[in-house]
Amino acid sequence: MFRSSSRNLTRKPYVSSLRITVPRRQAHIPSAFLLDNYIPRYKLLTDAQISQKREEAIAHLKKCNICPRKCNVNRLAGETGYCLIGDKVKVSTIAPHFGEEPCIQGTFGSGSVFFSGCSLRCSFCQNYDISHQRAGFDLSPEELAGWFVKLQEVGNVHNINAVTPEHVVPQFALAILAAIPLGLNVPIVYNTSSYDSPEALALMDGLVDIYLADFKLSSSTASKRLLKASDYPETAKHSIRIMQQQVGDLKFTFDGIAQTGLLVRHLVMPAYVEEGKEIMRYLAEHVSKDTYVHVMEQYRPAAHVGKASRGSSDEVRYSDINRAVTSEEVEAVKSAAREAGLWRFVEDSRHESFR
């Protein structure tokens, strides 16, 4: 049974050898974005490249500059930086999972690993108990590698989806490398806030097949207030361009399941619609008009939003975003995306998350 600290998963994962094949004429995917077959990028690494990746990961753990915070702590010696995570990873959930992108999860879901901790401190965090409070259990890279293979073999999943791995990139890389001789053979999804350093993305190059990248806000003022990182917009812009250079636009096999490429997500927020519009224009002008985009509408007040202000019981914190987003606000961002020339959009998922 898959272990979770945040919810009780008592049912065994559904296991089936069935793979649904969609003929070319039914896939509704332009031929430029279709693949006859796909081999995960890590399967193409030479022994020398694997050794080099391993050495680089260990070097980053000894002097950690893997996220933009650049704490330079020795995690192998037990030191921790901003994320408060040492040489092991802390994981809240490991399970087959249906998220918001059907083209990623497909029929059988992703083998999702939810890492605890985060390099950001989003005031509206939808996973506050995981990211801020670091709920979960510790795993070594070798133990994590074993879970990757269990997800693949028992869960029958389409890919391994690492959720918020930005602060544990060296351990994540070591886990992928350790899983290769164990028989791992499905694509790797790097599910990120886009608050990544160039060093982290360089280490991931050749290991990651799909970048599932958030682009939250476009101004340093809003990012400082809501994410506690004024450098977020420029960091995200640079990171997403690097991701695009590594894997290109999102591509699929004939069954309609994404195998490689970039997918950018933007959570529409009340009072910040103009920032969403600016993000869409940036993607079209500076990344690719063929960027696969998910304009998300499931924002809800969470984490610190709506809590009583310090020193006042009559006021609440972040009152401007203390409500759900409206359909008009979501459509405004989608319209801006279309006007900018973007045309590849995620359809809503019919699944109910975990199985």
Q: Note whether 214 and 287 are within 8 A (CB).
A: no
What are the distances in angstroms from CA 263 to CA 5, 258, 289?
A: 28, 10, 12
Structure tokens at 63: 């002097």
CA distance 194 to 265: 10
Looking at the chain, the number of H-run helices and the number of E-run strands are 11, 10
Q: Count how many Cα atoms sit within 13 Å of the Cα of residue 93 in the half-sphere of its side chain.
A: 21
b (16+ CB within 10 A) / e for 105-140:
bbbbbbbbbbbbbbbbebbbbebeebbbebbbbebe
Query: 32: helix, coil or strand?
Result: helix
What are the distances in angstroms from CA 318 to CA 4, 122, 138, 193?
A: 31, 12, 33, 21
Instruction: Check the annotation: does 83 bind a ligand.
Output: no
Pick the closest to residue 178 from 41, 60, 51 (CA basis).
51
Structure tokens at 172: 């994540």
Residue type, 186: V
C-alpha torsion 233→239→245→247, nearest 10? -120
Instruction: Check the annotation: does 67 bind a ligand.
Output: no
Residue type, 143: E
Instruction: Check the annotation: does 118 bind a ligand.
Output: yes
Determine whether 62 is exposed, middle or buried from the number of CB atoms within 10 Å of its CB (0-12, 13-18, 19+): middle
Annotated binding site for [4Fe-4S] cluster: 118, 122, 125
Annotated binding site: 118, 122, 125
